[in-house]
Amino acid sequence: MKTYKIVYKPMIKPLFKLSDPYDIHAFPMPEFTGYGTVSGEREETVTAPNKQLA
């Protein structure tokens, strides 16, 4: 068995963009733009027979 180091970002969050964030009289309608990752990465060490199983 080999030891593999796995680095990943654990969480995703929805991303929104305001239509006009500087207009204080307009109702801010958020527009969904997709998913993004939370800052920060995790690192794990795994022992597995091959890279696909790790």
- What is the β-pairing status of strands 2-8 and 42-48? antiparallel
Question: In this predicted structure, what is the pLDDT of residue 13?
Answer: 80
Question: In this predicted structure, what is the pLDDT of residue 45?
Answer: 92
In tens digits, the chain (54 residues) has pLDDT values of 899 999 987 788 888 887 776 777 766 677 888 888 777 788 899 999 988 887
Cα distance between residue 47 and residue 1, in whole Å: 6
